[in-house]
Structure 1
Amino acid sequence: MTTRLDDPIWEQIRAEAAEDAEREPALAGFLNTVVLGRPTLEDSLSFLLASKLENPVLSALTLREMLNSVFCNNEAVQDAIRADLEAVVTRDPASRGYSSPLLYFKGFHAIQAHRAAHDYWVRDRKPLALYLQSRISEVFAVDIHPGARLGKGLLFDHATSVVIGETAVVEDNFSMLHEVTLGGTGKVGGDRHPKIGKGVMIGAGAKVLGNIRVGEGAKIGAGSVVLRDVPPHVTVAGVPARPVSVPQYAMPALEMDQQFSDEDDEEDELERRRA
């Protein structure tokens, strides 16, 4: 088991929970059970997820042990958990500090539960991984195949109806909103899902389909259908999606700006990039 001796994010979560427990006595028992009575962030997270994912097949106690075996022994997962919390706090104005996503944001919950399922998948415990995928989908309305590879620093804002296929790859510092699909194009087997570069932002309802590459720092407009590769640092939108501008920032995921740049500036910049 890996225990972090210096964990400022966990200390901040505990401070926020203590303040909330004092201000809202009705939640004091919940906050003491989930946060203030837990020794580490990993233990808190495993307790919370197990309570949400339990059912007659797997009890909360069994699920806690399964989740803790990943969260408490995999340093890469521990780093990812904290990077994901940081992503929510810095990108989502609805977040009231670090405790809010830990306790209440199902996009964060779904990502962390997937990290456990993926760990079992790569350790060739595939039936268990698929069972976890099924429960995660039922509880959080987020369907991520356990084979999908997710980086760190991720924000799934709202997250309802997100679908990510088996061979999808999502690199670090990625943001997307609800009803996004990273899927296949039909019955094609093998490597059939999108590869998403660092810093990409995908708007609500977009569908990215097939074994295509969305380059670093690209932005996909809400409701778009993307069927071809997207170059780095280009904004695409429409059905089918086509280049419409360039992002104002190098890493759109960090800014969460849904607007397109001025039309004249878009055309000038696109011509410059083609030259």
Structure 2
Amino acid sequence: MAKDTTKEIFSNLVKEALALSNSEPLLKSILDELIVFRQSFAEVLAVSLSRKLASSFLSRSQLELLFTVAYRDNPTIVEDSAADLLATMERDPACRSSLEPLLFFKGFQALQAYRIAHVFWKSNRIFLAEMLQSLISQKFSVDIHPAAKIGHGILLDHATNLVVGETARIGNNVSILHGVTLGGTGNEVGDRHPKISDGVMIGAHAQLLGNIKIGKGAKIGAGAVVLEDVPPHVTVAGVPAVKVGHPDTALPSLEMQQDFTRDVDSRPISKSSK
């Protein structure tokens, strides 16, 4: 994601905020504070996230300072956040402006807060990272371990009750709906969580458990329980999940077509494959 893109996103946010202030004057003061009077997309993120996550642990001003420094020292996460915002706008039909994910969509907000927690984790500021994880869970009902690795262009749609374990890996341009678990299978230690490749779409309440790999462009049906590797460009569904066909597009995460019955092969699934 180029720096010019983050500047363009910031410019669009300001334009939208000014237009909304004209049509909804009661919102002018908060839009000015959060967006119009700011100097960059990074500053907007720091201000809006600190406002959401302020608590008895850390005040809004303390969090804003922490986040501002994190963005200054790690500009790539600002670029990742811009890619996430664009992904949300492009894939979520309920999204009508760039203001909405920034201010209202807790999937987007939780993901950006995780990105800062991940920076702290990598810097060995473990307690601070875990504190942010706890705040994110309390505020957004989204539990992403700060050690997990997540790419860019991610859509967390609705996101309520999403769980992402410590050794989980998520590639680029992935779409995940609410209630999904990327978890372990028990109390094992070490590398124990799923690895999600680029372009994967995971339907609502799917449970992916163990150190399994989901191949590029795969599609996981809603409510599936996935316990084994899924090859690239394959659709799986059911409990336990079995192959039911192939997505009709190379990257199903971009299309957000959740009806996996459209992917069903013409031949029936044999009893031995169930």
Compute the TM-score of the two structures, normalised by the length of structure 1: 0.93
Unaligned ranges ≥5, structure 1: 271-275
Please tell me whether the aligned partners of residues 17 and 99 of structure 2 are also in contact (alpha carbons under 8 angstroms).
Answer: yes
Please tell me whether the aligned partners of residues 89 and 98 of structure 2 are also in contact (alpha carbons under 8 angstroms).
Answer: yes
Q: Which residue of 2 aligns with 1:153?
A: 153
Please tell me whether the aligned partners of residues 6 and 79 of structure 2 are also in contact (alpha carbons under 8 angstroms).
Answer: no
Task: State the one-letter code of the partner of 1:234.
Answer: V
Q: Which residue of 2 aligns with 1:64?
A: 64
CA deviation map 1:128-155 (0-9, x unaligned): 1001100010001100000000000000
CA deviation map 1:20-48 (0-9, x unaligned): 11111111111111010111111111111
Q: Which residue of 2 aligns with 1:44?
A: 44
Q: Which residue of 2 aligns with 1:243?
A: 243
Please tell me whether the aligned partners of residues 207 and 224 of structure 2 are also in contact (alpha carbons under 8 angstroms).
Answer: yes
CA distance in structure 1 between the partners assigned to 2:221 and 2:6 by the alignment:
40
Q: Which residue of 2 aligns with 1:176?
A: 176
Unaligned ranges ≥5, structure 2: 270-274
CA deviation map 1:228-250 (0-9, x unaligned): 00000000000000000100110
Task: State the one-letter code of the partner of 1:107.
Answer: G
Q: Which residue of 1 aligns with 2:265?
A: 266
Please tell me whether the aligned partners of residues 236 and 245 of structure 1 are also in contact (alpha carbons under 8 angstroms).
Answer: yes
Question: Could you say what secondary structure the match of 1:62 adopts?
Answer: helix
Percent identity reads: 48
1:261 to partner: Cα distance: 5.2
Q: Which residue of 1 aligns with 2:54?
A: 54
Correspondence list, 1:89-108, <5 A: 89-108=89-108
Question: Could you say what secondary structure the match of 2:103 adopts?
Answer: helix
Question: Could you say what secondary structure the match of 1:176 adopts?
Answer: strand
Q: Against the structure 1 CA distance between its residues 158 and 132, is the aligned structure 2 distance closer, same or farther, given a 3 Å change threshold?
A: same
CA deviation map 1:147-196 (0-9, x unaligned): 00000000000010000000000000000110000000010100000000
Task: State the one-letter code of the partner of 1:31.
Answer: L
Q: Which residue of 2 aligns with 1:273?
A: none
Question: Could you say what secondary structure the match of 1:88 adopts?
Answer: helix
CA distance in structure 2 between the partners assigned to 1:209 and 1:69 by the alignment:
36
Please tell me whether the aligned partners of residues 206 and 222 of structure 1 are also in contact (alpha carbons under 8 angstroms).
Answer: yes
Q: Which residue of 1 aligns with 2:133?
A: 133
1:4 to partner: Cα distance: 6.3
Structure 1 consecutive aligned stretches of length 4 or more whose deviation exceeds 6 Å: 3-6
Question: Could you say what secondary structure the match of 2:10 adopts?
Answer: helix
Task: State the one-letter code of the partner of 1:63.
Answer: L
1:72 to partner: Cα distance: 2.5
Task: State the one-letter code of the partner of 1:115.
Answer: R
Q: Which residue of 1 aligns with 2:227?
A: 227
CA distance in structure 2 between the partners assigned to 1:235 and 1:28 by the alignment:
47
1:262 to partner: Cα distance: 4.7
1:57 to partner: Cα distance: 1.9
Q: Which residue of 2 aligns with 1:117?
A: 117
1:79 to partner: Cα distance: 1.2
1:70 to partner: Cα distance: 1.6
1:75 to partner: Cα distance: 2.4
Please tell me whether the aligned partners of residues 201 and 253 of structure 2 are also in contact (alpha carbons under 8 angstroms).
Answer: yes
Please tell me whether the aligned partners of residues 5 and 82 of structure 2 are also in contact (alpha carbons under 8 angstroms).
Answer: no
CA deviation map 1:98-152 (0-9, x unaligned): 1111111110000000000000001111011001100010001100000000000
Please tell me whether the aligned partners of residues 219 and 233 of structure 1 are also in contact (alpha carbons under 8 angstroms).
Answer: yes
CA distance in structure 2 between the partners assigned to 1:56 and 1:211 by the alignment:
36
Q: Against the structure 1 CA distance between its residues 221 and 7, is the aligned structure 2 distance closer, same or farther, given a 3 Å change threshold?
A: same
CA deviation map 1:39-61 (0-9, x unaligned): 11111111111111111221111
Please tell me whether the aligned partners of residues 196 and 214 of structure 1 are also in contact (alpha carbons under 8 angstroms).
Answer: yes
Please tell me whether the aligned partners of residues 6 and 82 of structure 2 are also in contact (alpha carbons under 8 angstroms).
Answer: no
1:7 to partner: Cα distance: 1.1
